[in-house]
């Protein structure tokens, strides 16, 4: 993952300036696809989807905001080395290696387990060689084999208008704020409402991807249950993706018979490893959020 320049955007309502980060390049190494449809890619994260304006306090869609330009940069004359580390094997002390990876990458237990089950896997890119050496040494002491690749680049130095430099970064929105945005009327069509409610669901499941004890949707706060019910009502049985979303919401709500019936409706859903995992979980009466078979890294 290589960061790109910040993009300066304006609030559609009052014109207040904000900045959103961008990526120059990313990849899906170490990525996990979850049963709720969330694709977690540490090396290619999604930017904030909506934001509350710091000026007028009204929510807006980040991807639809007017882009005023990118933060200007000029290239330094000094070369910079970017070191990419790849975990080739864990050795015999697998559990300790996983613990070290969780601490350094900030991933949950399921994500790290998925990563070490699919080696080789990229585990980081470092600007400072000393940081890369520390990771190699720490994992090497545990018996893991880590390879490294170095690429020489030229770093950027910013030269920007003062008002651009002072513009606040757009921050990620919580589950509660997504639901507040819906109440304030940010969504103007059923598709937009479904999108916001799906994001609220995804954000609400975030802690469970990090290993927090699972709480079914049916046992969460009233506003969370209401969001799940509203999202199910917005799903069409004629759309395969929405049908799977609806079935997963039912499963996470411990409504297994309804989930099974929905999955069995004609026309048959296309066979996939993810669908097989979902059907098996429904059959076993398992409501917990699940990682699905890993997609191909690109």
Residue ranges per domain, the chain?
Answer: 2-76+157-166, 80-153, 175-284
CATH topology of domain 175-284: 1.25.40
Residue 163: predicted pLDDT: 92
* Mean pLDDT of the 180-198 span: 97
Please count the other Cβ atoms lying within 10 Å of the Cβ belonging to residue 182.
Answer: 19
Closest CA to 182 of 172, 170, 192, 167: 192
Please state the pTM of the whole predicted model: 0.72
Mean pLDDT computed over 76-94:
82
**Mean pLDDT to the nearest integer, 63-67:** 93
The answer to whether residue 41 scores a pLDDT higher than 70 is yes
Taking phi over 0 as left and psi of -120 to 50 as alpha, with beta for the rest, 169 belongs to beta
As a whole number, mean pLDDT of residues 130-155 equals 86
Average pLDDT of 233-256?
A: 96
The band of 107, judged by pLDDT with boundaries at 50, 70 and 90, is confident
* Res 261 pLDDT > 90: yes
Identify which has the larger pLDDT, 214 or 129.
Answer: 214
Residue 209 scores a pLDDT above 60: yes
Identify the CATH number of the domain defined by range 80-153. 3.30.1390.10
Confidence band of 186 (pLDDT split at 50, 70, 90): very high
């Amino acid at each position: 993952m290589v960061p790109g320049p910040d993009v300066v955007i304006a609030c559609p309502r009052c014109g207040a300036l904000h900045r959103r980060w961008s990526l120059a390049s990313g990849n899906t190494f170490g990525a996990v696809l979850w049963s709720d449809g969330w694709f977690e890619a540490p090396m290619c994260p999604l930017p904030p989807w909506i934001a509350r304006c710091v000026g007028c306090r009204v929510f807006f869609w980040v991807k639809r905001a007017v882009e005023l330009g990118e933060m200007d940069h000029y290239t330094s004359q000094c070369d910079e080395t970017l070191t990419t580390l790849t975990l080739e094997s864990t050795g015999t002390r697998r559990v300790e290696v996983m613990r070290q990876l969780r601490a350094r990458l900030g991933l949950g237990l399921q994500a790290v387990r998925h990563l070490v089950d699919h080696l080789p896997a990229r585990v980081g890119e470092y600007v400072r060689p000393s940081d890369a050496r520390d990771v190699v040494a720490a994992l090497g002491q545990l018996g893991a084999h880590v390879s490294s690749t170095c690429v020489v680049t030229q770093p950027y130095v910013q030269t920007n208008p003062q008002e651009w430099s002072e513009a606040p970064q757009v921050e990620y929105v919580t589950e509660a704020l997504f639901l507040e945005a819906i109440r304030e009327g940010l969504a103007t069509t059923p598709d937009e409402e479904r999108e916001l409610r799906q994001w609220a669901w995804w954000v609400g499941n975030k802690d469970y991807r990090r290993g927090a004890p699972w709480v079914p949707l049916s046992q969460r706060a009233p506003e969370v249950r209401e969001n799940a019910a509203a999202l199910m009502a917005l799903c069409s049985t004629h759309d395969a993706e929405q049908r799977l979303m609806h079935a997963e919401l039912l499963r996470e709500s411990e409504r297994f018979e309804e989930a099974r019936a929905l999955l069995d409706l004609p026309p048959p859903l296309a066979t996939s490893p993810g669908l097989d995992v979902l059907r098996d979980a429904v059959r076993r009466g398992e409501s917990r959020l699940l990682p699905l078979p890993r997609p191909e890294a690109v």
